[in-house]
Amino acid sequence: MARASLPAHDVADLSLADEGEARVRWAAGQMPVLAQIRERFADRRPLQGIRIAACLHVTAETANLVRTLNAGGASVALCSANPLSTQDDVAAALVLSDRVEVRARRGEDIDTYGEHVRALLAGAGEATGPQITLDDGADLLMTAHVRGGGILDELIGGTEETTTGLVRLRRLQDAGGLRCPVIAVNEARTERALNDRHGTGQSALDGIVRASNVLLAGNTIVVVGYGWAGQGIAERARGAGGAVIVCEVDPLRALEARMAGYEVMTSLQAAERGDIFITVTGSRRVLGARHFERMKDGALLANAGHFDVELDLAELAELAVGPGRSVRPLVEEYELADGRRLNLLAHGRVVNLAAAEGHPAQVMDVSFALQALAVEQLVLRGAELPPGVHPVSPAVDREVGRLKLLALGVRIDEPTVEQEHYRESWGPLA
Ligand SMILES: NC(=O)c1ccc[n+]([C@@H]2O[C@H](COP(=O)([O-])OP(=O)(O)OC[C@H]3O[C@@H](n4cnc5c(N)ncnc54)[C@H](O)[C@@H]3O)[C@@H](O)[C@H]2O)c1
């Protein structure tokens, strides 16, 4: 294809497109639910003419979502939801093979990141800007709200992929500022079960192992935050032979962790015990100087929460005697005054994306099937939805679960009419 006919783009290297294409195809083979939706979309074109802007991790799985939305008739422009998560070869493939406007380079600085997000909103107010936004962290929709004006008038709605994004959007909603409907893909039952728990559980540990080559067995692994994602990490860490300690601020979650058999203690107590620390709270500065001061020599610090604010990096730098020293591609060693060394993985950014490949395609199959169907719902019914955060429809959630089971070759029973009736009635127990 002649370069002149390419869409606007800012990617690292178009010559990587063939490698990217191979990666996208490999992922496609593990995304059967999305493939079924793509076939239906190609047949019926339910998104014909719709303009979509997506701020998602630019990975092979996302490329398959983009192709599904394209098959439905939509045009998609894409930027990255994290400066370190972009697969440059995939970005190149999307530009060259699919003529998608992609603005994402792995390692882009924060200013470039912001420019890329803003560029996706260009044309708004002139009937060429996005009608639907897809977010993973809400940066796109938040930027649209900050800019205001014509952008918001053209928006049918958005979708949100992660907890942190929903927290931000609900704050905006509570302040009376959210101006369009947003579908909380992250809170679908299928998403919670597969993505947050199994996807984060496996891939966060994968990132830690790839970055450091550490043996999980025999080490004490401290998981800070026992939400959906933290539960998955704790479960996988224990399965790999780690001794797991959980730190929480929510008494019920802490109780759940204790009843699941983990040691539960304060983060200060855990600081002295851990070999590997993983923050996954969605909060900020959950591990800081007072923790670093107590940690063992050689401790590994990783974050699996959305933003790089969970480990207090400023305090780490302040405590260290010199600047962080790169000891492996994604490991920086900080030496403290008494000679102890703490190892920061992936600059404190979300470790499963920065140091590994994010969730496996089999997991993203479900997440992106939900995304594709949520976009379809917005096109069909977005105008009826008031501004605010809305759940994925239970029918869509069940359908995605059903299709995934089918793809896994699993069959299940259906309740009998009598059982349905019994469940819905509140009469005598017998
Ligand atoms: N890496 C990934 O692929 C991935 C996947 C899913 C979610 N996330 C991100 O991980 C974070 C958590 O997501 P979640 O869905 O598990 O959220 P969640 O709300 O279910 O769980 C967060 C937990 O952290 C606890 N917590 C908050 N502050 C704490 C503190 N100071 N110390 C200890 N515990 C604390 C909360 O009580 C809660 O139980 C969010 O930033 C989310 O966006 C990342």
Lookup: tokens for 248: 């929480």
Residue 358 CA: nearest ligand 1 atom is 3
Residue 224 CA: nearest ligand 1 atom is 33
Region for residue 148 given its phi and psi (left: phi exceeds 0; alpha: psi -120 to 50; beta: otherwise): left
DSSP per-residue string spanning 10-44: EES-GGGHHHHHHHHHHHHTT-HHHHHHHHHHHHH
Task: Tell how far the Cα of 19 is from the centroid of ligand 1, in angstroms.
Answer: 34
Task: Tell how far the Cα of 406 is from the centroid of ligand 1, in angstroms.
Answer: 31
Q: Name the nearest CA neighbour of 85 among 55, 118, 64, 114.
A: 55
Q: Measured between alpha carbons, how far is residue 422 from residues 46, 395, 415, 419, 428 in Å?
A: 39, 22, 10, 5, 10
Tell me the whole-structure pTM to 2 decimals: 0.86
Task: Tell how far the Cα of 97 is from the centroid of ligand 1, in angstroms.
Answer: 37
Answer yes or no: is the C-beta of 36 below 6 A from any ligand 1 atom.
Answer: no
| Domains, the chain, ordered by start | 3-191+359-407 (3.40.50.1480), 198-354 (3.40.50.720)
Tell me how far the alpha carbon of residue 259 is from its chain's centroid.
28
Residue 307 CA: nearest ligand 1 atom is 41
Handedness of CA 42, 44, 50, 55 (dihedral sign): negative
Task: Tell how far the Cα of 89 is from the centroid of ligand 1, in angstroms.
Answer: 30
pLDDT tens, position by position, for the chain (430 residues)? 456 689 999 999 999 999 999 999 999 999 999 999 999 999 999 999 999 999 999 999 999 999 999 999 999 999 999 888 899 999 999 999 999 999 999 999 999 999 999 999 986 666 778 999 999 999 999 999 998 778 888 899 999 999 899 999 999 999 999 999 999 999 999 999 888 899 999 999 999 999 999 999 999 999 999 999 999 999 999 999 999 999 999 999 999 999 999 999 999 999 999 999 999 999 999 999 999 999 999 999 999 999 999 999 999 999 999 999 999 999 999 999 999 999 999 999 999 999 998 899 999 999 999 999 999 999 999 889 999 999 999 999 999 999 999 999 999 999 999 999 988 887 665 5
Lookup: tokens for 82: 């994290």
Residue 359 CA: nearest ligand 1 atom is 3
